[in-house]
Amino acid sequence: MTDTHGASHLSTVQLQTLRQDLQEQLERRSRHLLGLQDEARQSTGADDTWQELLVSLTTADRAIAELTQALDRLDTGGYGRCGHCEAGIPFERLKIRPLARYCIGCQRRFEAA
């Protein structure tokens, strides 16, 4: 598991585990979005829950986009690399936060700014 630029620092098993987690999350979120869309079609839009439904639809759609982008990065070899410094993001961090785009150091700098 080298950590040189362009080479994966994650093992094949780690990548497969992360891919499976991302795909499961994508399937779950997609089913949730379909349910929300069905609810929106049946709603009259006249009650107080309409605004909450729109927020839920937007949130679900954004989550699906993020998961799809992560899977695309996995396919192209960019997954697991910091979007700022390109250092390898540790498997332990990705296991907890599979959508992590930055290493801990860069994430802390962005949050402090």
- Tell me what pLDDT residue 92 has: 95
Distance from the Cα of residue 110 to its chain's centroid: 18
pTM (2 d.p.): 0.83
Question: What is the band of 113 on the pLDDT scale with cuts at 50, 70, 90?
Answer: confident
Cβ contact 22:70 at 8 Å? yes
pLDDT tens sequence across 23-32 = 999 999 999 9
